[in-house]
Amino acid sequence: MKKGDKLIIIIVAAVALIALGIILITASDANNKAVSITVDQKPYMTMSLNKDTTLTVATQYGSNTIQIKDGSVKVTSADCPDKICVHTKAAHKVGDIIVCLPHRLIITIEKAE
Amino acid sequence: MKTKKLLYVSLLIAFSLILSYIETFIPAIPIPGAKLGLASIATLLSLYLFDLKTSFTVVSLRIILSAFIFTNFTALIYSLSGGLVSLIAMYLAIKLAKDNLSIIGVSIIGAIFHNMAQLSAAVFVLGTVSIVSLTPWLLFLGIITGIFTGLTAKYVLKYSHIKKQADKFYNK
């Protein structure tokens, strides 16, 4: 490795750490949280994170089964090719996000009004 | 000589297609936009062995072919944006800072630009900026995968005969 290589690693790691810090500092958690589901830029459904439930979001892009349990939400199964949404760890804080790119599906946790 | 170059370029494309295929067996990193980027070994090799035009052919053919064979059209948008942006970033890195950067640094730059371009494409397709919060993880992963692909490409250039053959095309 040359000097420039190390410089790049240090700069990128520093930027990533600062960005992570900003995200952690600005993240606020609330007691009343809502799960918001968006498909292809349009709101699909919003529900409380405190009520356990399981639902399947089936759209023209494919289907994802979403489970809300013990104050956290996760995708338990999906028919997308990469299964990244299924492998993403359960979301429970405000701002947590689960994405299924092939199905244009986004699950976010928001502060409930 | 022209036929020989065609042969090597075809081999590079075949090589990168196989790498894309192998990558589908590796468990996905649970962050959208992030990839191990095995196929970028071939991109790096073509940049170091041939010129920008040839590398462009290698990258775009690999992406289009692998979209038809292994994935689908949505994946094509993400792969094309990631692949081409990282190709241009790596080309500029070699052009502007060849004396200060080894192939590993170039590879890290490529990986980071790849991840950032895919994230931007996702923002565009999904119509939300909320996924920008994934940036720090994509940067960290870019460093790790970049070092890995860079090291692999470095040893391929060092121990295979392909470099000697390719240099002949440009009378180096």
C-alpha distance from A75 to closest chain B C-alpha (Å): 12
Interface confidence, given as ipTM, is 0.78
Q: Which residue in chain B has the smallest CA separation from A102?
A: B74
**Residue A42 — very low, low, confident or very high, per pLDDT cuts 50/70/90?**
confident
- Long-range CB contacts (within 8 A, 24+) of B128-133: B128/A38, B128/A41, B128/A106, B130/A95, B130/A97, B130/A106, B130/A108, B131/A97, B131/A99, B131/A106, B131/B32, B133/A23, B133/A95, B133/A97
- Does this model's pTM top 0.90? My answer is no
Q: What six digits make up the tokens of B117?
A: 């371009």
Per-residue pLDDT in tens (0 to 9) along chain B, 172 residues: 688 888 888 999 999 999 988 887 777 677 766 778 888 999 999 999 888 999 999 999 999 998 888 777 777 888 888 899 999 999 999 999 888 889 999 999 999 999 999 889 888 887 777 788 888 989 999 999 999 999 999 999 888 877 777 777 766 5
- At CB < 8 Å, which residues of chain A contact B? 1-5, 7-9, 12-13, 15-17, 19-20, 23, 38, 40-41, 81-84, 87-89, 95, 97, 99, 101-102, 104, 106, 108
Q: Which residue in chain B has the smallest CA separation from A1?
A: B102
